[in-house]
Each structure stands twice: as C-alpha cells, then as structure tokens.
Structure 1
C-alpha cells in the first residue's frame, strides 16, 4: 500500500525502533509523516539486544519485513539459571512453552540490526521522511496544528506530534511545560516520572556459544541476563543501587569498567565468565534501570508512545513489544479518524483529544497487558537479585518446579501475548507460515 498525500501530517520525534514502527504504520495508513532523529545516524550500535515476542512478529509481518528479519536473530530455545558461583539450579522450558502456545519462541536480535531492516523495509519515498541530526528544542501548538523546532533552526509543521523519544523524552518534558503554562495549579507528572532501583550495564561481544541461549545468573543484589545470537552474545548486568532514585545519572567509562570488574567472576554460560568476554566487547553502556508508567500520555496535539510513557525492567524483554503495541492501537484509531474527517480530511482538535484519551485508556485496560507486564518485569528483576528473603525463596525454590513454570507460562504470560493487537487496516501479505499459526489463537 503506497503512501498518499493528505493535509493531515504526523511529526514523530525519535528514530529508534518505535519511531520506525510509527513510520511503517503511518505509511501503510496513507498518513503523511516526518521522523526527526536527534542522532546523526539511524543505525547507532549501542551494544544492546531486543527480544521480539510472538505477538510482535505478527506486526512485523504486516510491515513486510519478517522474512528478512528472522534470519538475523536467534529464536531462544535453551534456558538455564545459575548462582554467581556457577551452580546450575534450574533448566527451564519457558521458551519451548512459548513456542508451543504461540507458534514461535521469542527471538533475540541486535538492536542495530532491527533498525537497519526496519529502515530498509520502507519504500524510498518513506525513507526520505526520516531525518537525522534533528534535535528537538521546542514545540508550539495552536488550535489547528503543531510546530516542532530543532537545534539546527529547522522548523516542521504538522497536525500532531508523536513522542517516541525514549525514557528521557524531550517531547514529554515540553508537553509538561505546556500543560503547566496553561494551568500552573493542575496536577501533572514530575519532571522525572520514573524511579530506578537497579543499575544496568549492557553490552555485546562476538559469541562462540550456540545461538538461542537465554540464561539468568542470580545473587544477592546482583543479577545477569545473557542471550546468544548468530554472531553476538549480549549481557545485561544488574546491580542494586544504594537507594532508589528518580534522577538521571550520567556515567563515565570509569564507572562502566568498575561495574564490569564487580561482575568479572560471574558466569554467563557453563564455560564462559564475564571477564572472558570483557576484553572483546563490541559496545557497552551503563544506565539506571527506570520503571513506571506516567499518568499523562497526551496534551493537546501531543501524544507519547513507548518508553516516553511507560518503562519496565529488561528481564522479560517486553519493553520493545509494548512500544509496538502503542503504535498499533494509536494508528488504528488515527486512520479511522482521518478517513472519517470531511472535506480537508483533518480531524478536529476535539476528535484528536478523544483518540489520545481512548488510546491511553485501552493500553491501560485489561484489554492489554501493559500494567501487569510492568509489574511482572520488576518482579522478575527483584527475584533474580534476591532483593529480600521472600524473593530469594520464590526464585531459588518455589518457581523452579516444572509444574509451576508451566502454570506461570500458560496462565500468566500466554494471556498477555494473546492480547497483542495488529494493524486493522493491513491485510496479510501472504498466509503466515505454519509455525506461526498459533498467532491467531
């Protein structure tokens, strides 16, 4: 389906995975758009991985990129749980159960690979609308449109702004300023709406392990998640902070090296330790692991998606998947409104406000699994880091039996995946392969 010109135009702030998801969804909806990315490159290699769950593969199939994407990832198939001294205390079947219930297991990808395939999967006309080196500095709103101003002086006019610019969203900050400027006494989210209990060191390295491993390493106050792909391995090292914080912390290379040294003797696999791979790192970063859901997802003609409005820990690999669900729910409603608008095909401000409110209400309702998944992700992190004796017992003993794992995957995780929605205006390009048939259940 080709993009057609309309007088309704969306300005997407952020050219990461969720911003590119918006580009695909808007293009397929025939809605004009521009994506503004602050970095000079779309394919920044940050050394991180993304886990794509079965319900998200459905949407990527609608984009026409699934066949190109799957060979670049590794379907997870082997799960082990270690203690920090290398003792294996559980060999679970969580990935096999996901495949059994949904037709495909979760797939680990290098973040930059997903970005490249998502970008290259767009037609040339859509690629031209994705601009780099465009750092947002200001947003001006009016009764009939929005203006985004960038640090280089460039100005972009549109009908709405979608803020897909991550956990430290500039869009969210400006939206807050505009709301309080209009009414200084109104209740609004704080400048830093999330809190962090853990610090996270993430990185990638050339992996000699078989692809498809997804291991967790547990100890008091510290934990690791490890995944192996076709060419790279990725680790996520979690360390409990002295106290929870809502402030943004900027870490130096010295801080990165210090945290890595603390984990040097921790195992990643049965034959590999952190110290074995650290000299061969292809990229690493250190950040606080923010968690939470903001109360206000929109104001006027501005709306937030992804980490800009909800953030969860990385232990279950659900964050990227929920950002995609945001775009799906939002764009399904936007397309209907644009098509229903008479004359100029521009929905009124009142209609847009209703769309944004409905979008948030749906995503926060039992129709979706967002609230529960934020809680489950945080629970898993605290269990693996043995935050208190109850979490320790739950992780080391109570959740280990096979029967408990089956019950958890079948009655806790599976219902969440089945709630995944797809674009309602994109018919299947072809019948999904047999192994993906479980998606329709």
Structure 2
C-alpha cells in the first residue's frame, strides 16, 4: 500500500537532525515541512562534528556519500596526552574502524555538514521555512496545529521536535569552536585527533583542511540547571586557565588563543528524558538524550533515531491508510522502546568518557591512566564501540539497497 497523501509531518528544527529527518521522510514519500527559527539554515559558526561509519553508511544510502567525503576531513589516529603534553597513548583507531566497517570516520565543521544535508534535500525551498519561531502547539483528534510568532499556522498530522535541548542538567563548561589559517599548524599532526586529560579539565583538537577546531571542557563545582550566557570577559578568563595546556604536540593553548576567529563559552548540557512522546508529539535527538560531545556520538545517535522513527512511521502508514491517535501512539511507543535500549548504551559511554578524561574520581583516573593503556585503545573501541554500536547501525528499510560497503565486521541490519 502507498503512503497516504493526507499525512503530514511537522519537523521543528532545521539543524543536522531535522534535515536528516527531512531526507528520510522525503525518501519514504511522507509529506513534511521543517520549521527553523533562524533566518539562515547554514551559519558560519558552530562546533565540529564527527560522523562514525554507521552514519556515513546512511549518507551512502541517501546518495550523499561523495558530498560528505568531499566536505569531511578524514581522521586516522588518536593521541592521548596529559595537560603537560606527555603522550600516554596513540593508536590508529579510525583506520581500524574503517577497516572493520567499510566506511571512514569523518570530521566536519558544522556548517559544511549542514550544507551537505540542506543542498541535497529534494524540494528544499518548499519543505523548509525559516524565521519560523514556534509559540504553541495544539493537538486534536485528527491532527496538530503549530502556531508561529508571525501569526501563521502550520497544520499536520504529527509534530517531531528536533530542535535540541532546552532544559537538562549540565555538569561541565565547554568552550567549542575556534579556527585559524592552516599555515599556523603545519607539522602539528594533521589527520590526528588530540585529546588531553587531567583533573577537572580536558581538551580536544582536530585539524581540518583549512582550519583547526578545539574544545576545552572544565567541570563545574556543582551540576546546575541554570541557562547562563557567558560574557567575552568570562570566556577570556577560562582561556587563561588553559594557557599552558599542551593541546597538541609542542603547541600550548596560549599560542592558539590569539589566532581564534570564533569562540563561544557555554554550559554543556547532559541529561536523559524518560518520556519521549505524548499524543501526536515526539521528541528526537538532544531533546531526549543529550550527551557530552567528548565521545563524538551525539549526532550519530540522533541519526540512528531518525532512521528508526521513519522506518516505523513508513511501515505503519503503508499498512494503515488512516493512522489515528491510537495508531500514532503505537508507532511512537515501538520506536521509543527500540531506541531507548540502543541510545542508552551510547549515552552511558559518553558519560563515562568525559568523567574518565577529567579524572572525576580515583576510579576514573585508574581506568584512564592504567586500565585503558593496559588493554589498549583499539581493543577498548572494538569492545565498546564497534560491536555494540557501529555494527548495529540501522538503515532505511524502504530504500532498495545492497547494504553498502563491507568490512571485517558484518552489519546487523543490511536491508537485503
């Protein structure tokens, strides 16, 4: 049975998650609109994003593999260091993952990834509305009404919130995003992901083709729910605290800071929501499982949620031409049950990594400085990431496809 034409999805949020959702709905022939509150979909600022092999595989299925490879930066090795620059471990983790799963790990400036998703979305001019700030959502037995700040109304069958986190429990301060010309970092480890660790502090740095991105993370004295806006002076004060930290081999942060052309200091959110949907409204992504970025898995986890949700919705619409409230609740409940189990693995891993690299306890220090070096980074990643996360990566079940590239570890979901 074909998808009914009168079923319409309203997606709130035009970031990478909302755009990925748009690609899935478009491929499933499900009518939709994406509402974005900002004037532009693509902005020049933003933190770096890592896409792991199971996400690159989804881009391959959507026909966007060539574009993501062109826009993304290959990462091959990971170097663990102390704040004083001492290297405690180095491994070709990302090369190993590509060999295991058949797809690379790619690092992006957020605007570049957003551009790939935006420009590759069919009929994007008709499907995306900018300057669309949501002020209220009304639900009734036969659909939803989304009221916008300009007085207009969007009507549809369901609402999917993909606009990120609004109120979770932050437990760290992060300073993401700074870039400067490539000439300043030659010889400092292109294609290597650097991560420092120490008591209450950790940094990450990666080189792109034309820039370097860094993030600094410092634990707060106490977790807080406060949504604080930091001043330029407070940002500069934090930069002073990290001045003598060696963020790359033979490169201290005080040498980086004067060359920055974009920085932002924020409270980094972390939290898990038990209830993901109500009635005709579903949340997806950071709105229900907000993770610290140190593991680089947040967007990847959200993309998997997008795939699972669209699969469930497509299956239900093909078998039930008039999907009522009960049917929608069934779709949402099945999706939530599946993804809670899968996402919790990634969420717990992200919590463990940030606490390990900031040595939040003596046990965290022991794991980071003794257990991981003894077992080996590659062995840890094989056990914690390759098997339970990447190889379990889902694909759209309604797109005819041969399953994509193969590695030494077989994919669980192949759509064959």
Q: Smaller-chain TM-score range?
A: over 0.9
Secondary structure of 1:116 counterpart: helix
Residue in 2 aligned with 1:295? Answer: 274
Question: Structure 1 residue 15: deviation in Å?
Answer: 0.1
Residue in 1 aligned with 2:396? Answer: 423
Are residues 431 and 318 of structure 1, via their aligned partners in 2, closer, same or farther at CA, if it must alter by over 3 Å? closer
Residue in 2 aligned with 1:184? Answer: none
Say whether residues 1:198 and 2:156 are aligned partners: no
Residue in 2 aligned with 1:388? Answer: 361
Question: Structure 1 residue 354: deviation in Å?
Answer: 0.7
Query: What is the alpha-carbon distance in structure 2 between the residues aligned to residue 5 and residue 39 of structure 1?
Result: 31
Residue in 2 aligned with 1:131? Answer: 129
Query: What is the alpha-carbon distance in structure 1 between the residues aligned to residue 288 and residue 6 of structure 2?
Result: 28
Residue in 1 aligned with 2:300? Answer: 321
8 Å CA contact 1:220, 1:387 repeated in 2: yes
Are residues 437 and 407 of structure 1, via their aligned partners in 2, closer, same or farther at CA, if it must alter by over 3 Å? closer
Residue in 2 aligned with 1:175? Answer: none
- TM-score, scaled relative to structure 1: 0.87
Residue in 2 aligned with 1:265? Answer: 244
Residue in 2 aligned with 1:375? Answer: 348
Question: Structure 1 residue 39: deviation in Å?
Answer: 0.7
Secondary structure of 2:222 counterpart: strand
Secondary structure of 2:264 counterpart: strand
Question: Structure 1 residue 324: deviation in Å?
Answer: 0.5
Question: Structure 1 residue 437: deviation in Å?
Answer: 7.9
Residue in 1 aligned with 2:335? Answer: 359
8 Å CA contact 1:5, 1:32 repeated in 2: no
Secondary structure of 1:218 counterpart: strand
Residue in 2 aligned with 1:182? Answer: none
Question: Structure 1 residue 260: deviation in Å?
Answer: 1.6
- TM-score, scaled relative to structure 2: 0.93
8 Å CA contact 1:78, 1:212 repeated in 2: yes
Note the aligned Cα RMSD (angstroms): 1.9
Query: What is the alpha-carbon distance in structure 2 between the residues aligned to residue 338 and residue 69 of structure 1?
Result: 31
Q: Which ranges in structure 1 are unaligned for 5 or more consecutive residues?
A: 169-191
8 Å CA contact 1:74, 1:229 repeated in 2: yes
**Which deviates more, 20-29 or 285-294?**
285-294
8 Å CA contact 2:193, 2:206 repeated in 1: yes
Residue in 2 aligned with 1:173? Answer: none
After TM superposition, list the pairs within 5 Å mapping 1:27-426 onto structure 2.
27-123=26-122, 125-168=123-166, 192=167, 194-206=168-180, 207=182, 208-209=185-186, 210-342=189-321, 346-365=322-341, 368=342, 370-401=343-374, 403-415=375-387, 416-426=389-399
Are residues 433 and 412 of structure 1, via their aligned partners in 2, closer, same or farther at CA, if it must alter by over 3 Å? closer
Query: What is the alpha-carbon distance in structure 1 between the residues aligned to residue 70 and residue 171 of structure 2?
Result: 36
Question: Structure 1 residue 309: deviation in Å?
Answer: 0.9
Are residues 204 and 63 of structure 1, via their aligned partners in 2, closer, same or farther at CA, if it must alter by over 3 Å? farther
- Cα deviations across residues 172-201 of structure 1 (Å, max 9, x unaligned)? xxxxxxxxxxxxxxxxxxxx3x21221111
Are residues 35 and 406 of structure 1, via their aligned partners in 2, closer, same or farther at CA, if it must alter by over 3 Å? same
Secondary structure of 2:399 counterpart: coil
- Cα deviations across residues 317-336 of structure 1 (Å, max 9, x unaligned)? 00000111111011001111
Secondary structure of 2:23 counterpart: helix
Question: Structure 1 residue 89: deviation in Å?
Answer: 1.7
What is the aligned length?
Answer: 405
Secondary structure of 2:174 counterpart: strand
